[in-house]
Structure 1
Amino acid sequence: MAFDLSEEWVIETEAQLGARLPAGYRAAMMRRNGGGIVLDGEDWALYPIRDASDRKRIARTCNDILRETAACRAWGGFPPSDLAIAGDGSGDKLVFLRNGDAYGPAPAIWRHETGGLIAQAPDIGDLSSALGA
């Protein structure tokens, strides 16, 4: 179930990452933190951004992007600077690639079987309707 998100939690997550999230993604997640999208016929479950404003929101965001990314890194083969923002249920992840102190707006698919990255869209704006932006 997707729900709104205060910008303070986005800022806190960015501080923990040490990098800024793409503007389109930030705006979309503040409107609808989590939920699902369909890209090229594939269903993806968006990982929420952690929201600790109350017990209900903590429970709803326990699989946040920081936790899911840490779990991916523990598998091995996951790019160390990338950020997992969604999963397809089979182990593949939709990721943002880090470029200095920001994540680029172009999401890619990380295939867990090969460790390869596949470009998905030129920027998050192309996915804005799927993300609810």
Structure 2
Amino acid sequence: MPFPIELKYIKEAEVELGVQFPKSFIEKMKKENGGEFSTDEDDWTIYPFFDKLDNKRISRTCNHIVLETNQLREIEGFPKNGIAIAENGCGDNLIMLPFQENQTEIREKIYIWLHETREIIEIANSIEDLIE
């Protein structure tokens, strides 16, 4: 169940990952940190930002964006500059990428990273295109 999050926790994640998330993604996550949605192809669980407000929120956000991204970056074929934002329970992840390899600014486009083939396929122009 998604719930609001304070901006400071999103900023902490940006520092840890060395990125700047797009405003549209930040605004969506501030209102609903985490949650689920479906596409024609799959059901997705959105990784939340780690929320340290209280023990309940800590336990509900233990599979957070920073943790999941860092774990995936250890896998050969995952883009070293990719940010994992959701998973389908079968190993595939929705990711965001920077405009250029060494930039910190993350683009709004959403991609699927297919774990079996290591393919990256653009699937949406922004998070709003997936979640309505």
Structure number with higher strand proportion: 1
Report the counterpart of residue 112 of structure 2 in structure 1. 109
88-97 or 34-43, which deviates more: 34-43
Superposed counterparts of 1:67-82, under 5 Å: 67-82=67-82
8 A contact 1:22–1:124 mirrored in 2: no
8 A contact 1:14–1:20 mirrored in 2: yes
For residues 95-123 of structure 1, give each alpha carbon's deviation from its aligned partner in whole angstroms, at most 9, with x where no partner exists: 00122121110000000001010110123
Q: Distance in 2 between matches of 1:80 and 1:15?
A: 16
For residues 10-64 of structure 1, give each alpha carbon's deviation from its aligned partner in whole angstroms, at most 9, with x where no partner exists: 1111111221111111111111111101122410000000111111111111100
Q: Distance in 1 between matches of 2:53 and 2:65?
A: 17
For residues 40-94 of structure 1, give each alpha carbon's deviation from its aligned partner in whole angstroms, at most 9, with x where no partner exists: 2410000000111111111111100010111112222111000000000000000
Report the counterpart of residue 126 of structure 1 in structure 2. 129
Q: Which runs of 5+ in 1 are unaligned?
A: none
Q: Distance in 1 between matches of 2:24 and 2:131?
A: 7
Structure number with higher helix proportion: 1
1:128 CA displacement: 4.6
Root-mean-square deviation over aligned CA pairs:
1.2
TM-score, structure 2 normalization: 0.92
3-state SS, counterpart of residue 120 of structure 1: strand
3-state SS, counterpart of residue 103 of structure 1: coil
TM-score, structure 1 normalization: 0.91
Identity, in percent, stands at 39
